[in-house]
Amino acid sequence: MPVRLIESLATTEPLADVFSDLSVLQAMLDFEVALARAEAELGIIPQSAARAIARCSRAEEHDTAALARATLRAGTPGIPVVKGLRKRVQQEDAGASDFVHWGATSQDVADTAIVLLLKKAAAILDADLARIEKALRPLAAKYRNTVMLGRTLLQPAPPLTMGLKAAGWLASVRRGRARLARAVSEGLLLQFGGASGTLATLGNRGPRVAELLAKRLRLDLPEAPWHTYRDRIAEVVCACGILTGSLGKMARDISLLMQHEVGEVSEPGGDGRGGSSTMPQKRNPIASAIALAAANRVPGLTAAFLSQMVQEHERGVGGWHAEWPTISEVIQSAGVAVASMAEVAEGLSISPARMKDNLKSTQGTIFAEKAALLLSAKLGREAAHEALERATDPKKMRGRTLAQALADIPEAQADKKLRASLEDPEAYLGAAQTFTRRLSSSTRARPRGRK
């Protein structure tokens, strides 16, 4: 399905297809077919009725526009879908139409449909997350010894390595992937409870119908219907929110490192990516911008879903009705962020030379912390800190390096070894290598696979 122009920065083609009208309708019809077959297997409805329902349950043969208009009046998509299905079945087998939707309620159809759509969408997100992991792992290894400026509050700070930064992105994405997989695993549940969540119309055979229905749809069977208990779907939404935030952090780092004044990394370009409508020379961080747009959008959507959880008794008024567009937007926003950053990770250009130049441009002042610690043995910690603060005053530096500025501190004048040590970034990396190795090698816990 082509992406709608208004959503072109908020989804991907595969996810737009998952949440398209035909896909949503087919998920609801799949529920009805599986229900009819499960009930026919138990002798609750005739086999001929189940076959007729299946023959009439092809989404492309239904008028989705008419169903959307009817949904606005019905307050739930389940009602017009069931009415439309009954009408089609009646045209083929008048007696079979009475068995459409037997024992179910409209929320059973809608909730199970959204779960089926989540299952499809989760597979798409996981595949793109795997792309990011695959790209970042060798990046962290290749640049484990490439020293770059650390930056705190956007100002120069003691150095780290590009490998450590990439490993941080990798570990964050890996945690987000695992978190989402766990939430999806918990949330892929059948919804089937009938009018009040008791399956009363099916008598003592209700639980058995639910078992067969879940098996046919390849969903897990919950302990009981969950019509007004939205916590497991909320976990999926929140996991998407956290994941999108993590991708936004990666995107923010990359877009800042792409600034002309920094120039240490660059997104992949070409094929219309990152250009300007007026400035031919520009290569904008477009993929990062798309991920950041998603990271700006998803927190509000997540909060909206959490507010929709407060639902009344056995069927909510308004909260449940608000969920479909919220879930769809959250999943698609997360998906476009994942896909965008996968493209970035796979084609990111690194400039070690520019990193070295930026280190030199600080004139060694990023090692003032190290100098203060070394001088604290002679001056005391507070006095050493104050002495270095005075020595590195921009008005006094006048193009000097930190080692030269130390001449203003009598206790440092005679310590040639101290001054020499301040010219070597590699000598002040602490446990960067250890942390890079740990972040890169940690494995994510995968939930047991579903057949």
- What's the mean per-residue pLDDT of the chain? 91
Please tell me the least confidently modeled range out of 113-117, 149-153, 230-234, 363-367. Answer: 363-367
Distances (CA, A) of 284 to 18, 25, 69: 30, 39, 42
Residue closest to 338 by CA, chosen among 259, 405, 240, 408: 240
Res. 418 pLDDT band, cuts 50 70 90: low
Question: Higher pLDDT residue, 288 or 373?
Answer: 288
Res. 409 pLDDT band, cuts 50 70 90: confident
Q: CB-based burial of residue 55 (10 Å sphere; 0-12 exposed, 13-18 middle, 19+ buried)?
A: middle
How far is C-alpha 128 from the geometric centre of its chain's CA atoms? Answer: 10
Q: CB-based burial of residue 261 (10 Å sphere; 0-12 exposed, 13-18 middle, 19+ buried)?
A: exposed
Res. 392 pLDDT band, cuts 50 70 90: confident
- State the number of CA atoms in the 13 A half-sphere of 59 facing the CB: 14
Phi–psi pair at 232, nearest 5 degrees: -75, -35
| pLDDT beyond 80 at 415 | no
pTM for this model (two decimals): 0.91
Residue closest to 337 by CA, chosen among 137, 131, 171, 139: 131
- Facing residues of 265 across strands? 350
pLDDT for 449? 46
| pLDDT average, residue stretch 374-392 | 83
* Tokens, residue 106: 């409209």
The catalytic residue positions are 276, 315
pLDDT for 294? 98
